[in-house]
């Protein structure tokens, strides 16, 4: 199905890639259906794009990229709510804020997004651990990671392949510019 | 909203498994003790507010934010 988005133009999304947030995200309770867009840029940032609202998308990133020791501990009732037995069949993302001064960017470690890769249901879960920050400054950690790995294209491909093995399919939106969008429209 | 008056040491029972006790009253502050089953999620209201605000701010990012970030990341 074709989905219109403000940032990426019109994208073709497979029904099986649609992620359902039955409770929405905090502050966005009305938006239930999303999909993940991979713009394929070096920042490793993906977008959780709303289907219900073309203008709403959240930049997200896998926390293991900037915080290898980050551990999500879910209560049994939370696992149940996602029909999960453990996190081995789930994807974990953190929501990013990217202010004008990008070095002040932060990730929400307190309330990660957990996706059941099989059922494609997802929730933003507020973790009980009081040490976790809602706005964890991680620019330097991201920079370190990217300096070490991002120039290495093979590494990037591996990240994508790994994602696919876990069952997360992202919609590729390479070279998103006004021009490519127009071309896509023309082809369609 | 149900409003109840309680004295120090008194408590409120919610359902069969949740108990809230007034542990201490000091000036404008009240300390509450909460007994609940382990699967009950208990957070200060501000935590939810902070997450809502973070989500709202996150959703305001656009592709130029990423371009700025990519440029900054590329600086040596």
Q: Which CATH class is domain A2-174?
A: mainly beta
ipTM of the complex: 0.80
In angstroms, rounded to a whole number, what is the distance separating the alpha carbons of residues A181 and A42?
Answer: 20
Q: Residues B6-43: pLDDT tens digits?
A: 999 999 999 999 999 999 999 999 999 999 987 787 88
Could you tell me if B63 lies within 8 Å of chain A, comparing CB atoms? Answer: yes
Residue A27 is nearest to which of B41, B56, B61, comparing CB atoms? B56
Per-residue pLDDT at A17 exceeds 80: yes
- Of residues A178 and A24, the one with the higher pLDDT is A24
A102–chain B Cβ distance below 8 A for any pair: yes
Q: Given this model, what pLDDT does residue A152 score?
A: 55
Specify the length of chain B in residues: 76
Average pLDDT, chain A: 85
Report phi then psi at B49, rounded to 5.
Answer: -60, -45
Decide which of A55 and B40 is more confident: A55
Cβ atoms of residues A79 and A66 within 8 Å: no
Domain ranges, ordered by start, for chain A: 2-174
CB < 8 Å to A98, chain B: 58, 61, 65-66, 68-69
Please classify residue A155 by burial: count the beta carbons closer than 10 Å to its beta carbon, then call 0-12 exposed, 13-18 middle and 19+ buried: exposed
At A34, is the pLDDT very low, low, confident or very high (cuts 50, 70, 90)? very high
């Amino acid at each position: 199905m074709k989905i219109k988005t403000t940032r990426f133009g019109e994208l073709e999304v497979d029904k099986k890639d649609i992620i359902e947030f039955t409770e929405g995200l905090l502050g966005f309770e009305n938006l239930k259906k999303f999909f993940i867009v991979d713009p394929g840029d070096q920042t490793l940032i993906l977008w959780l794009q709303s289907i219900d609202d073309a203008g709403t998308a959240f930049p997200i990133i896998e926390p293991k990229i900037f915080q290898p020791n980050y551990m999500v501990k879910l209560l049994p009732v939370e696992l149940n709510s996602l029909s999960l037995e453990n996190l081995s069949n789930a994807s974990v993302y953190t929501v990013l804020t990217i202010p004008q001064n990008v070095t002040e960017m932060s990730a929400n470690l307190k309330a990660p997004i957990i996706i059941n890769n099989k059922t494609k249901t997802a929730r933003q879960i507020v973790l009980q651990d009081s040490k976790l920050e809602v706005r964890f400054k991680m620019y330097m950690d991201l920079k370190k990671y990217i300096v070490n790995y991002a120039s290495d294209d093979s590494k990037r491909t591996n990240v994508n392949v790994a994602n696919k093995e876990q069952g997360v399919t992202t919609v590729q939106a390479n070279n998103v510019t006004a021009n490519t969008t127009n071309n896509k429209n023309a082809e369609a | 909203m149900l409003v109840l008056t309680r004295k120090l040491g008194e408590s409120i029972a919610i359902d069969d498994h949740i108990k809230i006790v007034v542990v201490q009253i000091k000036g404008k502050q009240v300390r509450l003790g909460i007994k609940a089953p382990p699967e009950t999620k208990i957070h200060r209201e501000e935590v939810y507010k902070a997450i809502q605000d973070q989500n709202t701010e996150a959703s305001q990012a656009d592709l130029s934010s990423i371009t700025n970030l990519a440029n900054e990341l590329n600086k040596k």
